[in-house]
Structure 1
Amino acid sequence: MMERLDIDQIASRLASLVPPGLADAQKDLRANFRDVLAQGLRRLDLVTREEFEVQSQLLARTRANVDELEKRVAELEALATSRGE
């Protein structure tokens, strides 16, 4: 999930785009932008970096196991073929 600081930075950038004549509204707009951004991100089905890394490691281990099993099956098939089975 995005860090609170990142959301605050985006909200500040959006508020800075408000025309100078509406400078008084910038503080309110910044808060509203921040809330809208945070709410929108919460609605997304996102995972944390930690969860992503755990799943990546699990997938890598699973892939290694599959590769090893494929190698073993190929060896057994070659053995069976050489025995005439």
Structure 2
Amino acid sequence: MFDPKKLEQVAKQIHDSMPQPVKELGNDVEHKVRQVIQGQLSKLDMVSREEFDVQTQVLLRTRQKLTEMEQKLAVLEAKLDEKDQD
């Protein structure tokens, strides 16, 4: 859902800003930081850009079909009105 490169970059920045004794804890600290960040990000009500783009395309196709159906309905209603007037 999130760009792993961005997550890696943020985790590295946090790790690099820590005091030297903490840095020496090595991969465990970096792993924990990554877990915390990912946990907090997963709590947010967000979708991936890919999912957003897919849903946007679905919405556009649905809107197009609705417009087409409205036009067909208008034609049918006009024909029905013509018959009623006869």
Work out whether the TM-score is over 0.5: yes
Unaligned stretches of 5+ residues in structure 1: none
Determine what percentage of the aligned residue pairs are the same residue: 33
- Cα displacement (A) at 1:7: 1.0
Q: Report the counterpart of residue 60 of structure 1 in structure 2.
A: 60
Q: C-alpha distance in 1, partners of 2:7/2:50? A: 19
Q: TM-score, normalised by structure 1?
A: 0.67
Moved more, 59-68 or 27-36: 27-36
Q: C-alpha distance in 2, partners of 1:37/1:51? A: 21
Quick check: 1:25 aligned with 2:40? no
Q: TM-score, normalised by structure 2?
A: 0.66
Paired amino acid for 1:24: P
Tell me how large the CA RMSD over aligned residues is.
2.6
Quick check: 1:4 aligned with 2:1? no
Residue-pair matches, total = 82
Unaligned stretches of 5+ residues in structure 2: none
- Cα displacement (A) at 1:29: 4.0
The list of structure 1 runs, each at least 4 consecutive aligned residues, that deviate by more than 4 angstroms after superposition, is: 43-46
Q: Can you list the C-alpha shifts for 1:12-61, whole angstroms capped at 9, x where unaligned?
A: 2223333xxx2221345433221111223344454444433333222221
